[in-house]
Amino acid sequence: MSWRPLTEGRNGFFTNSILAEIGSKYGKSIVQIALRWLIQRGVIIIPKSIHIEWMQQNTDISNFELTDEDMATIATLDMGYSLFFDHYDARTTHMFME
């Protein structure tokens, strides 16, 4: 499950050139490409938005499919750690237990 899969825009997410290039092939936004990538990997997504236009865009991802090459290219963006907190740090567990 992916909670806030768009990283709140951290690390230049909304301007990522790789996602933008792939998006241009399909006529889709960076956000739509990222969400589609997660869906194709079997991840349940819970994107957050308060803007109706973005909510509509978030749901308009079922009319295309990323190629294996696109999927592999996007996978290279994985930094190997969370941009929100360290899952391996005991302080994180403590934070959630309070």
Is the pLDDT confidence value at 94 over 80? no
Structural domain harbouring 76:
2-97
Token pair 């589609």 in the structure block, residue: 36
Residue-wise pLDDT for 14-73, tens only, equals: 889 999 999 999 999 998 999 999 999 998 887 777 788 888 888 889 999 999 999 999
Q: What domain count does the chain have? A: 1
**Rounded to 5°, angle at Cα 75 from 70 and 80:** 170
Question: Can you state the percent helix, strand and coil of the chain, rounding each to 5?
Answer: 55, 5, 40
Three-state DSSP class for 46?
strand
| CA 20 from centre of chain | 13
Measured CA distances, 13 to 23, 31, 63 (Å): 13, 9, 23
Q: Which pLDDT band, with edges at 50, 70 and 90, does 81 fall under?
A: low
